[in-house]
Amino acid sequence: MAYFVALASAWLLLSASTALRPGRKGIFAALAYPVGWAAGELPAQAIVVQGALVGLLWWWGWPRTHWLSVVVIALALLVVAENLILVGIAFYARRIVRRALETSPQRPLTSPRPRDDHFGSWWRTALQIPFHPRNMQLIHNVVYGPERRHRLDVWRTSTTPKNAPVIFYIHGGAWTFGDKREQGRPMLHEFVERGWVAVSCNYRLAPRHPWPAQIEDVTRTLAWIKKYVANYGGDPDRVVVAGGSAGGHLAALLALSTDDPTWRPADVQGVTDWSVRGCIPFYGVLEMTGDEAHWHGLGWGLRVLLESRVVQVPFIGNEDLYRQLSPYHRINVDAPPFLVVQGGNDTLVDVNVARDFVEEFRHVAVAPVYYVELPFTQHAWDVTASPRTSATTRAAVAFATSVSAPRPGVTPALVAGYQSPPTELLVKSDADEWEPATDVAQELGPFCVVTADNPYSQQLEQWQNEARRGELLDVLHRRGVRVRPSVARDSSGTWPDEEGFALIEQSTQFARAVARAFDQSALYDVTEHEVLVRGTEDGDVLV
């Protein structure tokens, strides 16, 4: 029995060591995820098991051999010590998450506190079992297409209000396995308890169904949400998409290709708006060419998987195809807001994939991107209801809430208030004087004017508008955009002055993306002859 306890303790010690410092070569790389994940997510349970082993040995009969007794005690102490470190790391994730959101360079967020959880109570976290709310209504296997895997689940409660925001979750599994019932449950339970409608779907799997079957099915599911989720109390205009691993890839790709009809099923009719409000990839495969500049030694494994089982065509000679299905290579100025969450010890998706994606997003897109990097954290940490999962769930709630607020429609009164004249639109000239915008356009050429003040015409305090204005200016400066200060003055005096910026030598598309990122209904399109008011959603002139 003493030898058995010593061997079991040695295994627990190896597991905890792997969680803290996973190997990346040979057999250690192969064991890093299956061994390290269990130890990293169940450290408290490991301490209990170690105590039970020592207790069992005490009951059975403590070994009389001195060296064996010392080995058992030493191993037990090391197991407890390492797992206590892992417990501390899981709780420290709360501070990491809050700090990441609060120090974001654009649109900082405040993450809810543990006491604010609607469903993630302490005992659920302690048990780490993803129980669902008692009043949750789960509608199973709703058909969204003709294939056998075209089934989705809708989650809500008996008290979910009408026109509730929607969280669309996509499961992972290397595009070859997985099920809508298996992943993301702790987070989705919290969203549902907070009054959201949750949708999770199955999609066709490789190798039987090679790419692009997976993204086509996810796109088809989004079409179903846009057309039918209102029947379940959801608002089709307030959809946030999320997913883990391969599901994180599909979620990001869906969010970044809303204007690309390539993967839209031909038999789906009646959908004109394919947009989502935001995207939350957890440990997502955000780069799909296997470029080692991002993957740091893990890219070859991804490429082998894609070539042999998923895409089923070689990378060499099909580079454009692989870049087309890579979220990193599809980041664009119109991208919606992102919350990227990644584990620092992930041995399946290298942490630099997420870092590089976020850096590129901040360089190209204008919407905010939030990045949470969890130290000593392996792939798929959010399967269990741990303190770390609760922390990232709160981050997801804060992000999704911030991007899913209802957007008021553009009313005739609002359009009339934008018109110039009677609104006076002034821009700083080369002489540092306020001049009519059309006069400045004679000097500089056509330009667009955007503001960050009073999102969706909801009047804010002066200090709030100043903060938003500073954020807007920072976004423009980081992209090297030439700007001139502007001000729009209501001649009737019923609306306060709104300050903004004239974007010099920038396209209307870029100006619309900037205005949308700062929750504006319209912008000014200025030429030397006239000032046009354009809607930010479609770019049409508002009259």
Question: Six-digit token pair at 262?
Answer: 């390539």
Q: Give the chain's mean pLDDT.
A: 93
> pLDDT (tens digit, 9 = 90+) per residue, 155-172?
999 999 999 999 999 999
**Residues 212-229, mean pLDDT to the nearest whole number:** 98
Task: Label residue 350 by pLDDT band (50, 70, 90).
Answer: very high
DSSP letters, 265-326, are -TT--S------SEEEEES-----S--HHHHTT-HHHHHHHIIIIIS-S-STT-HHHHHHT-
Exposure string over 403-435, b if 16+ CB within 10 A, otherwise e: bbeeeeebeeebbebbebeebebbbbeeeeeeb
Residues sharing a CB contact under 8 Å with residue 306, sequence separation 6 or more, in sequence order: 211, 288, 290, 315, 322
At 472-530, the pLDDT tens digits run 999 999 889 999 999 999 877 778 899 999 999 999 999 999 999 999 999 999 999 99
Asked whether the predicted pLDDT for residue 59 surpasses 90, the reply is: no
- How far apart are the C-alpha atoms of 248 and 192, rounded to whole Å? 20
3-state secondary structure string, 51-99? HHHHHHHHHHCCCCCHHHHHHHHHHHHHHHHHHHHHHHHHHHHHHHHHH
pLDDT classification of 119: cutoffs 50, 70, 90: confident
Segments making up each domain of the chain, as ranges: 2-97, 135-403, 412-535
The one-letter amino acid at 210: P
Element containing residue 1 per DSSP (H, E): none
Q: Cα 211 to the chain's mean position, in Å?
A: 23
DSSP states along 434-494 = EEEHHHHHHHH--EEEEE-SSGGG----HHHHHHHHHHHHHHHHHTT-EEEEEEEE-TTSS
Do residues 217 and 203 lie in contact, with contact meaning Cβ atoms separated by under 8 Å?
yes
Beta strand 278-282 with 338-343 is parallel
**DSSP line for 183-216:** SSHHHHHHHHHTT-EEEEE----TTTS-TTHHHH
Per-residue pLDDT at 26: 63
- Asked if omega into 207 is within 30° of 0 (cis), the reply is yes
Tell me the pLDDT band of 34, cut-offs 50, 70 and 90: confident
Q: Are 427 and 502 in contact (CB under 8 A)?
A: yes
Our measurement of the distance from residue 189's CA atom to the centroid of its chain's CA atoms, rounded to an integer in Å, reads: 17
pLDDT for residue 27: 64
Q: Are 415 and 355 in contact (CB under 8 A)?
A: no
Burial 163-201 (b: 16+ CB within 10 A, else e): ebbbbbbbbbbbbeebebeebbbbbbbbbbbbebbbbbb
528 DSSP assignment: S
Sign of the alpha-carbon torsion through 434, 439, 445, 446? positive
**Close Cβ partners of 182 (under 8 Å, ≥ 6 residues apart):** 171
Pick 181 or 372 by higher pLDDT.
372
Mean pLDDT throughout 392-406?
96
User: CB of 278 within 8 A of CB of 338?
Assistant: yes
Amino acid at 352: N
Residues in the chain: 543
Q: What is the mean pLDDT of residues 335-347?
A: 96
Report how far residue 166's alpha carbon sits from residue 225's, in angstroms, rounded to the nearest whole number: 9
In CATH, what number does 135-403 get?
A: 3.40.50.1820
324 pLDDT more than 90: yes
| Residue 497 burial (CB count, 10 A) | 13
Helix (H) or strand (E) holding 369: strand 369-374
**Where in the sequence numbering do the catalytic residues fall?**
245, 346, 379
Span of 6-15, 213-222, 288-297, 311-320 with lowest mean pLDDT: 6-15
DSSP assignments along 116-148, one per residue: G-SS--HHHHHHT--PPPTTEEEEEEEE-SSST
Note the pTM of the prediction, 2 decimals.
Answer: 0.94
Distance between CA 277 and CA 269 in Å, rounded? 22
Residue 33 has pLDDT above 70, yes or no: yes
